[in-house]
């Protein structure tokens, strides 16, 4: 575990490390408070980059793909663009569909984290824990969900997959209005496709039971396009767990 105590701020810091195992460049986006010093950056294939976050930090990360930025950092991305027109997202979130990693860090207490497909999917993402105490489970979406995305949810020529809420914007898919409760908003045929492929990720708004994780005093590694053999065991195990809940 790599924790730093900031004696000026009087808070523990958590390290977030981004790793790119894709065969292409990814541009991670960051939305959260307080600032981590950047809101978006370039992550070439085979590289990694780390940031420290203070206790109490809350926010989300995602991977932008198919980006084209000029020498001054102006441009846009094919998937999960934040609409800033720059490498930095400057306080803007991801345009759906986007695979999201969400965190709320505790202050000497539990961190809460998840990988969400509620806003759709654009890239494989794994969250692993180093150090820490408590359940501290890995989570993420390892399968390429674009390969099994229904035709009516596909966007950008199949390089991303909308959620049913994003695609159809109806109350029953978005868990809004009369469907705004865990009892009224049930899994749909579309969210079940997401859940089967990625059992530990949020597949719709009230998919809390198998999708939210906790850990205390940990660091986190977010890997895009994980390809290590051990992740195959993760896929098999999470599928087994999801069928035995």
What's the pLDDT tens digit per position in 59-86? Answer: 999 999 999 999 998 999 999 999 999 9
What is the C-alpha separation between 235 and 245, in angstroms, rounded?
16
Answer whether residue 12 shows pLDDT above 70.
no
Mean per-residue pLDDT over the chain, rounded: 89
Answer whether residue 232 shows pLDDT above 60.
no
pLDDT tier at 8, thresholds 50, 70, 90 = very low
Answer whether residue 241 shows pLDDT above 90.
no
Q: Which of 43, 220, 22 lies closest to 139 in space, CA to CA?
A: 220
The CATH code that applies to domain 4-242 is 2.60.110.10
Are the CB atoms for 133 and 215 separated by under 8 Å?
yes
Which pLDDT score, from 0 to 100, does residue 235 have? Answer: 46
What is the C-alpha separation between 208 and 241, in angstroms, rounded?
15
Q: Dihedral of CA 87/148/226/109: which sign? A: positive
What is the C-alpha separation between 46 and 193, in angstroms, rounded?
30
Across the range 172-199, mean pLDDT stands at 96
Answer whether residue 128 shows pLDDT above 70.
yes
What's the pLDDT tens digit per position in 207-227? Answer: 988 999 999 999 999 999 997
Residue with the bigger pLDDT between 207 and 10: it is 207
Residue with the bigger pLDDT between 8 and 128: it is 128
Kind and range of the H or E element at 48? strand 48-54
């Amino acid at each position: 575990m790599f924790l730093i105590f900031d004696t000026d701020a009087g808070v523990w810091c958590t390290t977030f490390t981004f790793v790119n195992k894709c065969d292409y460049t990814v541009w991670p986006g960051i939305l959260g408070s307080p600032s981590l010093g950047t809101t978006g950056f370039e992550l070439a294939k085979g590289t990694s980059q780390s940031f420290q976050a203070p206790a109490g930090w809350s926010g989300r990360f995602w991977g932008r793909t198919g980006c084209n930025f000029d020498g001054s950092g102006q441009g846009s991305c094919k998937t999960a663009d934040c609409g800033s027109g720059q490498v930095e997202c400057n306080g803007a979130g991801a345009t759906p569909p986007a695979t999201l990693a969400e965190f709320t860090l505790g202050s000497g207490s539990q961190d809460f984290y998840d990988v969400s497909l509620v806003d759709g999917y654009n890239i494989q993402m794994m969250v692993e824990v180093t150090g820490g105490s408590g359940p501290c489970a890995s989570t993420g979406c390892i399968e390429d969900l674009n390969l099994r995305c229904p035709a009516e949810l596909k966007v950008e020529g199949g390089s991303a997959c909308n959620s049913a809420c994003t695609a159809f914007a109806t109350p029953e898919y978005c868990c809004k209005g009369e469907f705004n409760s865990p009892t009224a908003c049930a899994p749909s045929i579309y969210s079940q496709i997401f859940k089967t492929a990625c059992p530990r990720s949020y597949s719709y708004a009230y998919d809390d039971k198998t999708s939210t994780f906790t850990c205390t005093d940990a660091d986190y590694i977010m890997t895009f396009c994980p390809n290590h053999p051990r992740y195959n065991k993760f896929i098999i195990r999470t599928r087994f767990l999801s069928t035995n809940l």
